[in-house]
Structure 1
Amino acid sequence: MLTTSRGISLVLAIAISTLTVAFLFLLDDATPTLLLVAGAISFSVAYILMNVTLEFLIFKEISSIYSVLEKIQKKDYTVVSERATRLSISPLRKINKTINTYAQSKNKEIEALQKNAAFRREFIADISHELKTPIFAAQGYIHTLLDGAVEDKSVRLKFLKRAAKSLNALDKLVQDLLTLNQMESGVIKFHFETFDLKEVIHEVIEELEHKAERRDMLIRFYYDKEKTYRTLADKDKIFRVCQNLISNAIKYNNDGGEVEVHLKSHKNHITVEVKDNGKGIPPEDLKRIFERFYRVEKSRSREKGGTGLGLAIVKHILEGHKSKISVSSTLGKGSIFSFELPVEKGGTRKGS
């Protein structure tokens, strides 16, 4: 009984009313009626005040604290609403709020750890598959040669070329992984210089024209010939961004399709858009295409080549330029990738 607010209030109210009656009893003019009324009033007032104080300012807060502590003990870090705590005038409010804040921070930590664990599992599965494919291919060709096919010159040359191709793919995958890791850790520095973005895109298109011709595809470059498109950026890395975007537009386009590159100059920035008229990207995949190894169509993407790291590298390069890659896509009509770089208004800056 004494563990509840009512029990404690009852005991304290009886004690207070008893003391009140005892004090009044010492007076000469105290009558039995006065003592009775005074005792009843003091008991009622004391009981109500004590009960309200204990119930709403102490026991309720203690109950809330115990509730949160039980959740923490069970590793359930879902947070109790802080609204009642915020409106309360209880001296235990700060303790309750502190525990709630702790539970909330722990909940966020657990969610982050769960996401990281899921990402690690997915990453390990993806990289294992990506590494296994070229290794097994090269291994198969070499073992076939060792089993006797090396004596046949035509077979030997063909299998060695295929093994070399698989090992080249493996080397490219490892290099892309190292590049991405170095970018994320800040090991790779950006070397800014002034250059004409139009010239860089021309170089990329010249490099990839033969790849487009093999699939009867056209690359069209739209820009204002009377303008210069000078920017301050890392030229080699921006070359790689344009190379990756245009190469992907060719790779995932339809045979006989077109790739359009638009270069637009604005007051303070230059916009680059790479557009294809291929199959497009489903809406549910748009948010994930910049993740490592994420492929919209895994089987077909691997057949087309590539490491699955290109767009992740593009994202990190542009973040290093304080820019970002944007994408919009319509199924059956194609995709548009775009990014912005600042207009150079004079001066050069090397290193970062």
Structure 2
Amino acid sequence: MSKLSRKLFWRMAIMICSVFLVSFLVNTYFLPKYMLYQKKVNLAELTATVQRTSTDELAKAEAELEQQYNVTIVSSEFESNLNDLNETIRRKLYAEGVSLSKFWLSEESIKELKQNKPVHKLYNQTKLNTSFLVTFLRVDDKLVLIGTSVAHSDQSLRAVNTFNLFIAVGALLFTLGLAWLIARQIIRHLKELAKNAEDISNLDFHKTELKTGDEIELLAASINQMSDKLKDAHLALEQKNDNLQSFISDISHEFKTPIALIKAYSSGIRDGLDDGTFLHVIDKKTDEMALLVDKLLHLAKLQNEPYQMADFNLLTLLEHALENYEVAIQHAGKMVEVDDRRLHQPIVRADQQKIGIVLDNFISNALKYSNEPRVRIELANEGERLLFTIRNSIRSWDEKDLKQIWQPYYVMESSRNKQLSGSGLGLSIVRAILEKHEAPYGTIAEAEEIQFYFSLPVRSG
């Protein structure tokens, strides 16, 4: 027997034994008293009825009352001789089928009856194993006896308790089998869930379909839900690890090239080969390395840095950002078009410095990756929000690019062409900023064009 079977058996056995014990105590100590009490209540009710009835009416209704209350009613004239009175009543009771081995009405009882007080007696008939509960009444000039038999309950109670004991033993045996069946059914399902949990711990994510209609089904549903979430988290973690490895490889290359150049030019200076440009090259490569490190530090800082929310003009901020790229735009032969025809309220509430970083990254990416001269930017009000959209043509794209483009270290252009590749940190910085603002954002790719967008709440009033 399993542990669960034993637990179920003992708990159910204790419950059955407790019920049997309570039943035994109630039957032994309270049931006789309760039965006698019910007889007394029944007799008292009938006594009150008889006291309101005349002797003539009583004679007519005697048979009906006896049947209704399950009692024996006899009556007799008061006689001066007490012995004769007792004998008369005894004979009448015998005629009614009541045989008493012990019966006596005393002088004190006669005095109380003459004062119209009811007299209550209980005659214990030991040999007959019964008692006779009697109420004497004076109705007009007659003595009326109302009596009912009270069986001694010892033997009956022993029989009842013995029968209950047999029932309890049978119930325990039945409980043993029932506990085994229930536990077997529960354990079978729990073993399935335990196996599923063990598989999940070994990164084997799958579901267990159980239809029990109880808490076990809810537990299975919870484990299935946990399995799905862990699977998604595991896949995301693997993807991040892959991106991280790619990033480490890329960033190592980014650092390795300037370090090699710095070392080469330093050696040239030491050997007297400097033509006047060596220090300039070393400064340039050092600045490139410092810029990359700054981006890494900036991405880490954005997670916890406090944001200063204020109202500002997004169109003005965009114009300043484009001014910074004016030379780069002319040098690359690009053209940036800004469409603000649907812009009625340019004032938004956000962290202006952080949104400036977002605009800078979007513009930089569009200029870097666009294979056509034109880059289009649109500002438009939609309800209580301002929507920013930037579009540019793209050489090629894959569905997986759109899913991972916002992840740190991911670069859409996997080649090492310096004009196209980057550190993969720009859009992850953008995502961190926009998520801090709780701003909707996303990417849409259609044909040979890619579109980035985000929206901010406009100033109310």
TM-score relative to the length of structure 1: 0.70
User: Are residues 1:172 and 2:297 paired?
Assistant: no
Work out which structure has the larger RCO, using CA pairs closer than 8 Å and 6 or more positions apart in sequence: 1
Residue 220 of structure 1 and its aligned partner are, at CA, apart by 0.9
Alpha-carbon distance, 1:278 to partner: 3.0
Aligned to 1:282: 398
The amino acid of 2:380's aligned partner reads K
Q: What residue in structure 2 maps to residue 63 of structure 1?
A: 188
Counterpart Cα distance in 2 of 1:335 and 1:177? 26
Q: Any idea what SS the aligned residue of 1:142 has?
A: helix
Identity %: 20
- C-alpha displacement of 1:61: 2.0
- The partner residue of 1:271 within 377, 383, 387 is 387
Which of 265, 276, 291 does residue 407 from structure 2 map onto? 291
Q: Tell me whether 203-212 or 276-285 shows the greater mean CA deviation.
A: 276-285
Give the Cα separation in 2 of the matches to 1:115 and 1:225. Answer: 42
Residue in structure 2 matching 1:82, options 198, 210, 213: 210
Are 1:161 and 2:280 an aligned pair?
yes
CA radius of gyration, larger in: 2
Compared with structure 1, are the counterparts of its residues 116 and 160 closer, same or farther at alpha carbon in structure 2 (3 Å cutoff)?
farther
- Structure 2 SS opposite 1:223: strand
How far off its partner does 1:137 sit? 1.6
CA distance in 1, matches of 2:400, 2:196: 35
How far apart, CA to CA, are the structure 1 residues paired with 2:343 and 2:175? 86
- 2:327 is aligned, of 177, 197, 210, to 210
For 1:145 and 1:220, how far apart are their aligned partners in 2?
A: 43
C-alpha distance in 1 between matches for 2:181 and 2:261:
79
1:152 maps to which residue?
273
Number of aligned residue pairs: 288
Give the corresponding residue for 1:314. Answer: 430
* Matched-pair contact (CA < 8 Å) for 1:198–1:228: no
Measured after TM superposition, the shift of residue 99 of structure 1 is: 6.6
Change in Cα spacing, 1:227 to 1:80, as seen in structure 2 (3 Å) is: closer
Distance 1:324 1:179, change over 3 A: farther
Check conservation: 2:243, 2:410, Cα contact below 8 A: no
| Distance of aligned partners of 1:235 and 1:226 in 2 relative to their CA distance in 1, 3 Å threshold | closer
Superposition deviation, residue 311 in structure 1: 0.6
Gaps of 5+ in 2: 6-170
Structure with the largest fraction of strand? 2
Structure 1: runs of 5+ lacking an equivalent: 6-45, 88-93, 347-352
Cα distance between partner residues in 2 of 1:253 and 1:340: 23
Tell whether the 8 Å contact from 2:196 to 2:208 is kept in structure 1 after alignment. no
Q: One-letter code of the match for 2:183? A: I
1:186-265 aligned within 5 A: 186=304, 188-224=305-341, 227-255=344-372, 257-265=373-381
Shift of 1:303: 3.8
Q: Which amino acid aligns with 1:173?
A: L
Offset at residue 132 of structure 1 (A): 1.5
1:335 aligns with 2:455: no
Matches of 2:440 and 2:394, distance apart in 1: 23
The residue type equivalent to 1:200 in the other structure is: L
Residue in 1 aligned with 2:54? Answer: none
CA drift at 1:118: 2.1
Q: Which amino acid aligns with 2:350?
A: A
Equivalent pair of 2:247/2:410 in contact (CA under 8 Å)? no
Q: TM-score, normalised by structure 2?
A: 0.55
CA distance in 2, matches of 1:197, 1:223: 11
For residue 226 of structure 1, report the CA deviation from its aligned partner.
Answer: 8.5
CA contact (8 A) 1:281 1:330 kept: no
Superimposed CA distance per residue, residues 238-270 of structure 1 (whole angstroms, 9 cap, x where no aligned partner): 111111111111110115x20111111233111
- Provide the alpha-carbon RMSD of the alignment: 3.5
